[in-house]
């Protein structure tokens, strides 16, 4: 069409009109390209900011800490508490509150230049908060330092494996094998105290702090490393465990958003789901630490270090929504003197305030928990 217009004007109007038309076509082409780009980036922006509820599967299983505490005798508990992971033996509460995790992860600012040293930013309730190495350090109590690859433990005999699993000389060990020894009361009882602690350290690291599956293999480097408990306790586990968590939560919602939104449009029964390994508990505690209103639902023991062990769920108390006078109160002077007035009393409705969106979320979460949906 544009070519025909160009030819007609060229025939009837001469070269000056042709130049004008050329200019108009250039402007039109630029505007057309602009609106195409605007539509494209508008769609991308929509995909990045649209929020929805998703189901989060957390692989890290803190329940094994209570199992370890149960299986260790008093002497072995003392030995374990002296290790770098010792404080975590006394954790009282380990509900990951996955709906809370998703609520905050939906608020994560997109990162296009990721690095472990840079904190992840979240925009929640009109303010920006960050989660990085310093916060992870305070919550976990894990040592940080120069990252060590573990190359020095790549070769050599695996003495721990030879002692505990003599029938599995050439095969690979799995986390399930470690758990099997722990649950075998007779076999676990025959281990030396140090080997019992070593086995528990490996299980805690793999299944809880790194969030690996029970079916996954245990790296031979770790099996060699745990032989030297002094070196194990001096290792910067904070850096090692932080990197695993960072990789898991970095842009996690953005990475799944397109698939989730497409699924929601396709079927009403579709449940958006994503899985997290790594020590997600540290992220959950960071959420509680960042909101003062958290103490309405959770308790924190201020003298407990690290902070990740200090939090526990408040016990639900029976609430009297409708106070009624007892027989003794009904016979008392103060009640009799005001009884007629109180019978006629109609309370005035208070002017409602807009609730804080974090309060709204916590109230919703509490209601779901009571209905057994969390």
Return the pLDDT at 11: 47
Angle at 358 between CA 355 and CA 359, to 5 degrees: 50
Total count of domains within the chain: 3
| Domain annotation covers residue 321 | no
- Cβ proximity of 166 and 187 under 8 Å: no
The residue ranges of the chain whose pLDDT is under 70 are 1-50, 147-151, 315-326, 328-329, 332-335, 337-374
Helix (H, G, I), strand (E, B) or coil at 112: coil
- Cβ proximity of 153 and 225 under 8 Å: yes
Return the pLDDT at 240: 93
Residue span of the structural domain in which 331 resides: 327-370
Same domain, 168 and 286: yes
Query: What are the residues whose beta carbons fall under 8 Å from the beta carbon of 62, sequence distance 6 or more?
Result: 91, 94, 96, 208, 281
Q: How far is it, in rounded angstroms, from Cα 362 to Cα 291?
A: 11
DSSP state of 208: I
Return the pLDDT at 265: 87
Parallel, antiparallel or unpaired: strands 273-276 and 55-58: parallel
Same domain, 264 and 198: yes
| Domain annotation covers residue 318 | no
Same domain, 222 and 262: yes
Return the pLDDT at 31: 63
Kindly report whether the peptide bond that precedes residue 306 is cis, defined as omega within 30 degrees of 0: yes
Same domain, 183 and 139: yes
Same domain, 42 and 92: no
Same domain, 34 and 163: no
| Domain annotation covers residue 41 | yes
List, in sequence order, every residue forming a beta bridge with 273; answer none if it has no partner.
55
**Per residue in 254-301, pLDDT tens?**
898 888 888 888 888 888 999 999 999 999 999 999 887 777 778 888
Return the pLDDT at 62: 92
Same domain, 16 and 117: no
| Domain annotation covers residue 117 | yes
Return the pLDDT at 319: 43
Q: How far is it, in rounded angstroms, from Cα 241 to Cα 239?
A: 6
Return the pLDDT at 320: 46
| Domain annotation covers residue 320 | no
Scanning the chain, the segments in alpha helix (DSSP H) are 2-13, 15-49, 63-71, 74-81, 98-105, 133-140, 159-164, 175-183, 185-190, 193-203, 220-225, 229-234, 237-249, 252-266, 280-290, 307-310, 327-330, 333-344, 357-370
Tokens of 212: 């690996």
Where b means 16+ CB within 10 Å and e means fewer, 84-123 reads: bbbbbbebeebebbbbbbbbbbbebeeeeeeeeeeebebe
Same domain, 36 and 118: no
| Domain annotation covers residue 319 | no
| Domain annotation covers residue 227 | yes
Same domain, 302 and 335: no
Same domain, 145 and 35: no
Q: How far is it, in rounded angstroms, from Cα 352 to Cα 175?
A: 54
| Domain annotation covers residue 322 | no
Return the pLDDT at 270: 87
Return the pLDDT at 313: 79
Same domain, 267 and 162: yes
**Per residue in 123-140, pLDDT tens?**
988 889 999 999 999 999
Same domain, 306 and 339: no
């Amino acid at each position: 069409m544009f070519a025909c217009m160009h030819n007609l004007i060229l025939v009837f109007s001469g070269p000056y009109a042709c130049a004008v038309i050329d200019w108009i076509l250039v402007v039109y082409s630029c505007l057309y390209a602009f609106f195409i780009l605007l539509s494209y980036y508008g769609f991308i922006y929509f995909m990045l900011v649209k929020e929805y509820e998703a189901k989060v599967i957390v692989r890290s299983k803190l329940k094994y800490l209570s199992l370890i505490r149960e299986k260790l005798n008093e002497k072995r508990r003392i030995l374990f508490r002296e290790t770098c992971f010792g404080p975590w033996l006394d954790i009282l509460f380990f509900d990951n509150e996955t709906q809370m995790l998703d609520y905050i992860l939906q608020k994560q600012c997109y990162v296009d230049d990721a690095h472990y040293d840079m904190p992840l930013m979240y925009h929640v309730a009109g303010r920006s908060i960050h989660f990085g190495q310093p916060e992870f350090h305070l919550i976990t109590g894990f040592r940080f330092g120069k990252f060590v690859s573990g190359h020095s433990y790549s070769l050599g005999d695996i003495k721990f494996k030879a002692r505990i699993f003599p029938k599995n000389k050439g095969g690979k060990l799995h986390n399930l094998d470690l758990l099997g020894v722990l649950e075998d009361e007779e076999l676990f009882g025959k281990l030396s105290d140090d080997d019992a602690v070593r086995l528990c350290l490996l299980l805690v690291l793999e299944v809880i702090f790194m969030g690996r599956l029970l079916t996954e293999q245990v790296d031979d480097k770790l099996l060699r490393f745990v032989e030297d408990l002094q070196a194990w306790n001096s290792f910067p586990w904070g850096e090692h465990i932080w990197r695993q968590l960072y990789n898991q939560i970095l842009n996690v919602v953005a990475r799944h958003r397109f698939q989730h939104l497409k699924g929601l449009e396709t079927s009403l029964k579709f449940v958006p789901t994503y899985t997290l390994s790594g020590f997600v508990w540290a992220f959950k505690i960071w959420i509680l630490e960042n909101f003062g209103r958290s103490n309405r639902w959770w308790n924190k023991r201020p003298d407990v270090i690290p902070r990740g062990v200090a939090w526990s769920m408040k016990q639900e108390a029976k609430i009297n929504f409708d106070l009624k006078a007892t027989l003794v109160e009904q016979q008392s002077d103060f009640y009799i003197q005001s009884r007629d007035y109180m019978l006629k009393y109609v309370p005035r409705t208070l002017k409602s305030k807009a609730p804080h969106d974090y309060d709204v979320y916590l109230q919703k979460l509490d209601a779901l928990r009571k209905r057994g949906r969390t």
